[in-house]
Structure 1
Amino acid sequence: MDINFEGKRILVTGAGRGIGRQLCIVLAKSSPNVKVVALSQTQANLDSLKAESPNIETVCADLGNWDETRKAVQSVLPIDLLVNNAAVASLQPVLETTPEAIDSSFNVNVKSVVNVTQVVAQNMKDRKVAGSIVNISSQASQAALKDHLVYCGTKGALDIMSKVMALELGPFNIRCNTVNPTVVLTDMGRLGWSDPEKAGPMLSKIPLGRFAEVDDVLGAIIFLLSDKSAMINGVTIPIDGGFLAC
């Protein structure tokens, strides 16, 4: 399938590491005149990304800061395609969950998505261009995971918010969908799930018997960004090897 982002400007949040970083690199190579804008709160990560892929534009902002984020996103407009990838995870048991964990997680995983989407979607609407927004959710939005009270809550919120975005932005030809991965073997994912005692119970619930590789997630994101998915709007796509099917 030939997917072309020629002439498009694509914003990816949480682009300093993991899925976001690799997505930026792949997108930057996808078409001669595509422009990828990578947003991260860590300048050092952006600097190393720029060194690896010099044609990527970078912008540093703390997504937990509403006004700072808004100004940063406004500074890189226009944007045609958006991936809200940034997220934090604070894992605590129900009876030990702190207000700080709730506030910080919802601030980044939920509130910042609204903030970035407002700026980008308003610009798309004003320019009367078709757009696509992909929000990175998780299998944790639809399945209870031990010690993931707040994380599950933020991703559940993100799923339904994405459907509302699809409903309200669809009339302007702006689509919004989510991808919902299982454990993804980024560098941090490999480190965090290298212990067989920890990984075993999760793997036993995945019919394909493995965790997701980064490329498994990138393929779905790129498809949803492209015009090959022009009639797909308001869906959640599990990338979980069948975890949610069981």
Structure 2
Amino acid sequence: MSLPRTPSLRLDGRRALVTGAGRGLGAAAAAALAQAGAAVHAAARTLAEVEALAEAIRAEGGAAQALRLDVTDVAAVRAELEALPPFDILVNNAGTNRPKPMLEVTPEDYDAVEGLNLRAAYFVAQAVVSRLAAAGRGGSIIHVSSQMGHVGAADRTLYCATKHGIEGLTKAMAIELAPLGIRVNAVAPTFIETPMTRPFLADEAFRAAVLSKIRLGRLGRVEDLMGAVVYLASDAAALVTGTSLRVDGGWTAG
């Protein structure tokens, strides 16, 4: 009897772009992809952070380069990516949050959060996809969403709006790009201890409220996202597109 073989999780020979890679989830995603064999471009506005990350990846035998990129500058993104070979994998991770009551959200807050979380993600993906399409190549686009793309929460109307937008973008892109062999998925984590979330989680009452909703009883770690990213990027997910992989400890289960 000939047994089926598990598709590989290896990414050797593939090129990956990770935005917001200077710290937190982005740095972990870049490390995960490099450890699986991909050649990674780690992008962020602050070059020093991604240079340190790329050096650490290379020190472990991986392939990585630092890329200074302001993802909110659409023209600069297009120019930068047109000068590089196509990327087989995009982890669209750059994002921010300004939690506050809905009645206190300003137009400046709106523009800052929507501009990075949704507008920039859209046009980075467009730039990556355009290069793949021109080369006649398939690929994997992974948007970093959130459990807040599936539920609502007080003081997070703006963040929820952008992450629900990412979830809709993921589905629509998956349908449109499927004929090109480009898969589009999202990863939706719960609260992960990162530099962005640490100030909020320092509030003991808030931390306790968060833990009460995570059924597995602990906050997420960046390592919890690494396997999900590699899976969605790999041949093991060859028939997976238009989905959102919730790494939320059961928050959205009910």
TM (norm. structure 1) is: 0.94
Matched, 1:226 2:234: yes
Matched, 1:43 2:43: no
1:67 to 50, 66, 75: 75
Distance 2:202 2:212 in 1: 15
Q: Which amino acid aligns with 1:115?
A: F
In the TM superposition, what is the alpha-carbon distance from 1:201 to its structure 2 partner? 1.1
Matched, 1:27 2:33: yes
Contact 1:135 1:177 in 2 (8 A): yes
In the TM superposition, what is the alpha-carbon distance from 1:190 to its structure 2 partner? 4.4
Aligned with 1:3: secondary structure? coil
Aligned positions of 1:74-223 closer than 5 A:
74-223=82-231
1:18 to 10, 13, 24: 24
Deviations 1:75-105 (A, max 9, x none): 3331111110100111121111100111111
Contact 1:59 1:72 in 2 (8 A): no
Distance 2:76 2:131 in 1: 18
Distance 1:203 1:212 in 2: 10
Contact 1:77 1:120 in 2 (8 A): no
Contact 1:134 1:178 in 2 (8 A): yes
In the TM superposition, what is the alpha-carbon distance from 1:191 to its structure 2 partner? 5.0
In the TM superposition, what is the alpha-carbon distance from 1:139 to its structure 2 partner? 0.8
Distance 2:199 2:120 in 1: 27
Distance 2:181 2:44 in 1: 28
Distance 1:102 1:187 in 2: 21
Contact 2:145 2:163 in 1 (8 A): yes
In the TM superposition, what is the alpha-carbon distance from 1:188 to its structure 2 partner? 4.5
Deviations 1:150-205 (A, max 9, x none): 11110010100111100000111100000111101235444541443211111111
- Give the match for residue 56 of structure 1: 64
Distance 2:247 2:86 in 1: 30
Q: Which amino acid aligns with 1:234?
A: G
Aligned with 1:204: secondary structure? helix
CA RMSD after TM alignment: 1.5
Distance 1:193 1:133 in 2: 30
Q: Closer, same or farther in 2 for the Cα pair 1:105/1:190, shift >3 Å? A: closer
Distance 1:175 1:22 in 2: 21
Aligned with 2:213: secondary structure? coil
Distance 2:89 2:51 in 1: 23
Deviations 1:39-90 (A, max 9, x none): 1011121222233223311111211211122222223331111110100111
Aligned with 1:143: secondary structure? coil
Q: Which amino acid aligns with 2:43?
A: L
Runs of 4+ residues deviating >6 angstroms: none
Q: Which amino acid aligns with 1:41?
A: R
1:237 to 227, 240, 245: 245
TM (norm. structure 2) is: 0.91
- Give the match for residue 6 of structure 1: 12
Distance 1:103 1:96 in 2: 14
Distance 1:221 1:169 in 2: 19
Distance 2:195 2:119 in 1: 27
Any stretches of 5+ residues in structure 1 without a counterpart? none
